[in-house]
Amino acid sequence: MVKRIGVLTGGGDCPGLNAVLRAVVKTAMGKYGYEVIGFRDGYRGLVMNNYIQFKPGDVSGILDKGGTILGTSNRDNPFKFRVERGGKVDYVDMSDRVIDNLYALGIDCMVLIGGDGTLTSARDFARMGVNVVGVPKTIDNDLSATDTTFGFMTAVDTATDAIDKLHSTAESHHRVMILEVMGRYAGWIALASGVAGGADVILIPEIPYDINKVCDKIKERSAAGKHFSIVVVAEGAKSIDGDLVVCKVVKDSPDPIRLGGIGNRIAEDIERIACIETRVTVLGHLQRGGRPVPYDRILSTRYGVRAVELVNEGKFGMMVGLQGDSITAVSLEDAVGKLKSVPPDGELVQIAKSVGVGFGN
């Protein structure tokens, strides 16, 4: 019988994490009478035994707060944990230590909230016999076993707001305005915000672009009397003959590639080929911060409650997800390691094309 559960938030932060924590703690303590231990800073807290014991009031007033009250880290993989000894860096498998810590604390089950990296480690702990339930988080919306991850809609809201603001200045100055958004190797944020904000060109990793076709679209608009254009580009977009643009490589991270810089590259190309003044806005971590929109608060709450119900039903090794209107549970074995990309012939791309959006192809 479950008496005590642990919870952590891992990977990059995202709006809605606190809403999940609130739902987990309230349901676990209020409905089922479990004790809840929260580990600080993702898997680092589990390895270093850094935790708090939740009291009911600890999750009051956090539903609308961005970030995570537990802290997080996208650098710490418990199976390849960075350790510095005598000035030398080593990567050590700390999974046995984690299991010892869980045993010593009397934790019957862990609720692990994170993206693909965090959930891959969750699957690996499940394989070692640890009772785990996963909750899918990421603004990128790139996890295949769920229609939507929480945090995505807030990022789309932020990006759409930026497009709305760029429109007026683009029009006043007769410029091309480029908005570079996040999303890693998937174009969901760019596509959704581009459609919502009425972008003229949307460039995503799933549809490699030809810069000449991008410029043709902009020139076509000028010829029709529209002397400004809005281009939304995903950080992972690439040209038909180019590579990903990488801003830096973080050596000790499970995912060392940090994307960024494609917006500036496109701006130079547009000024050179189409001869129109161009400016770039890189939205960056603004997409990860701030208050979750109501959709994400609701989804986070549904995920958090369902995760605890799975614990109560003894259904471990599972991840909660959204399929259509229903909250589902899928095996972590099936859920991780599969990138959910934008289908180039999918409905949203076709809709965008129908209203005149160019994809540079």
Residue 170, token pair as written in the block: 């683009």
| 51, 122, 126, 140: residue in contact with ligand F6P (rule CB under 6 A) | 140
Radius of gyration over alpha carbons of the chain, in Å?
22
Answer yes or no whether residue 16 interacts with ligand F6P by CB under 6 A: no
At what angle are helices 95-105 and 116-127 packed, to 10 degrees? 70
Q: Amino acid identity, residue 113?
A: I
Identify whether 140 is a catalytic site residue.
Answer: yes
Binding mask 224-243 for ligand F6P (x = CB under 6 A): -----------x--------
Site for ligand F6P contains 340 (CB under 6 A): no
Among 41, 76, 140, 157, the one annotated catalytic: 140
Rule CB under 6 A: say whether 138 interacts with ligand F6P.
yes
Residue from 62, 75, 5 nearest 33 by CA = 5
Among 123, 221, 288, 297, binds ligand F6P (CB under 6 A): 288
Which of these segments, 90-98, 124-132, 176-184, 290-298, binds ligand F6P (CB under 6 A)? 176-184
Separation between Cα atoms, residue 132 and residue 137, nearest integer Å? 16
CA distances from 278 to 219, 227, 314 (A): 13, 12, 57
| Rounded least distance, CB 18 to ligand F6P, Å | 17
Binding of ligand F6P by 139 (CB under 6 A): yes
Q: Which amino acid is at 4?
A: R
Q: Considering beta carbons, is residue 131 or 138 the nearer one to ligand F6P?
A: 138
Using CA atoms, how far apart are residues 24 and 39, in angstroms rounded to an integer?
Answer: 14
Using the rule CB under 6 A, is 74 a contact of ligand F6P? yes
Closer to ligand F6P by CB, 145 or 308: give it: 145
Question: Residue 117 interacts with ligand F6P (CB under 6 A)?
Answer: no
Residue closer to ligand F6P (CB basis): 139 or 270: 139
CA 147 to CA 271: how far, in whole Å? 38
By CB under 6 A, residue 154 contacts ligand F6P: no
Biggest CA-to-CA distance, the chain: 71
User: Under 8 Å CB-to-CB from 135, ≥6 apart: which residues?
Assistant: 20, 111, 112, 113, 114, 303, 304, 307, 319, 320
Q: The tokens 């429109």 sit on which residue?
A: 167
Query: Which of these segments, 42-50, 179-187, 191-199, 217-225, binds ligand F6P (CB under 6 A)?
Result: 179-187
Beta bridge partners, 132, equal 110
Q: How far is the CB of 325 from ligand F6P (least distance, A)?
A: 26
Q: Which residues bind ligand F6P (CB under 6 A)?
A: 12, 74, 115, 138-140, 182-184, 235, 258-259, 288
Active site residues: 140
